[in-house]
Amino acid sequence: MSRARAVWQRVPAPVLDLVLVAVAAVDLWLTLWDDTRLGVALAALGCAALAFRRRFPLGAFLLTLPIAMAQPVAVAPLVALFTLAERSRSRTLLAGCVALVAVASSVPWPLASFAEVGRTMTLIDFVYSLATAAAPVLFGQLLQAHRDLARRLTEIEEAREHERALHAQAVLARERAQLAREMHDVVSHQVSLIAVQAGAMQVAAQDPSTREAARTIRSLSVTTLDELRTMVTLLRASGGHATELTPQPTLADLHKLVESSGTHAQLKGELPPTVGTPAQRALYRTVQEALTNVRKHAPGATARVELWQDGDHLGVTVANTPPTRPSLSLPGSQQGLVGLRERADILRGTLEAGPTTEGGYRVRLRIPLSAD
C-alpha cells in the first residue's frame, strides 16, 4: 500500500485531475439518463469542475450535484465529496453534503415520475445512496487524520531531539564546571606553590645562573596561572558568549613567548598583518609547543624561530641544537604534536617534525596564506 501511495504521489496534480475528469466523462457517457441539451451541459460542467477541486472543493462539489440527479452512482460527485472531506474539518458541512448527494441520487427526476417509482423504492435508493456517499467522506477523513498524526509524530520527534540536545548540553556543562573546579582547586594551587618557591630561591640564591633559572621558573609559573585562569573561564562559559570575550594569542605575542620560554631562543622574520586569526593562532601554538619540547627534552640547547612566507603559503620553523646536558624525565601527554597536526589539517596545511642531521630537532608548519 505504501508503494502504491508513493507512485500516486509522484504523479503531478494537474495530470491526476485531468485523468479524473476523463474518467467522470466516460462514466457519464455510458450511463447518462438525461440526454437533453440542459442535462448534457450540466453534466459537462460537473465534470469540468473536478479540475478545480483542489482550490475550490466546496464549489466543485456543488457543481457536480446535478450529475447525481442524472444517475444513481456517479464518479464526479463522489470524487468531489472525497476532496471536500480530505480538506474540511467541519463534520456538519460534510454530513449535509452526504445528505445532498443521497437526496439528489434517490429522488426521481423529473419529479413527475415520483408516483411511478413509489415511496418504498425511493427510500431504498436513499439509503443506498447515503451509504455510497458516506464512503468517500470516511476515506477522506481517514487520510486527513493520517496526515495530522504524521505531523504530530514529527513534532514529537523534533521535541525529543531538542530535549536530548538540551540534556547533552547540560551534562557537558556540568562536566566542564567540575573540570574547572578541579583545575582551579588543584592545579592552580600547585603552580602557585611553584611560583612562591621559585621566588624564594631567586632571592636566596647566590649563583647568578641559579637566580636566572629561578626567575624563569617564577615567570613561567605566573604565565601558567594566567593561562589556567583563562582556561577555567572558558570551561565555565560552556560555549556561551563569554568565550568570545577571551583574548586569543596572535603573532604580536610571539616576542613575549620567546623571551619567557626559558630557553636560548631567537625570533627571526616577519609576516604580513593580513594573516587571518586562525592562522596566527596556529603559528603561536606551534612555536609554544616546540619551545616547550626544547625546554623539556633538550636542556641547554639553543632554538631558532623563523617566520617565513613562500608565495601563497606562510609558516614557521622552530629548530634547536643538540642538548648540552641530560634531560630530566618529565610527565607528558604525548599529544602536543598530534594536536598541532590537527590544527594544520583544519587550515589545509602541513606540519613536519623530526630530528635533524646535527642531532637537534625541527618543527615546521606550512599553511596557505588564505587560511581562515
Phi, psi of 329, deg, nearest 5 = -80, 105
At 328 the pLDDT is 56
At 1 the pLDDT is 47
Written as nine digits, the cell of 83 is 476532496
Q: At which residue does the C-alpha cell 589545509 appear?
A: 348
| Among 31, 19, 118, residue whose Cα is nearest residue 69 | 31
pTM score, two decimals?
Answer: 0.44
Instruction: Give me the residues of the chain with pLDDT under 50, please.
Output: 1, 112, 114, 239-246, 331-333
At 303 the pLDDT is 94
Written as nine digits, the cell of 362 is 625541527
**Each residue's pLDDT tens digit, 315-353:** 999 999 998 877 655 544 456 787 788 888 888 899 999
Over the Cα atoms of the chain, what is R_g?
42
At 327 the pLDDT is 64
At 356 the pLDDT is 92
At 35 the pLDDT is 66
- Collapsing DSSP to helix, strand or coil, 352 comes out as strand
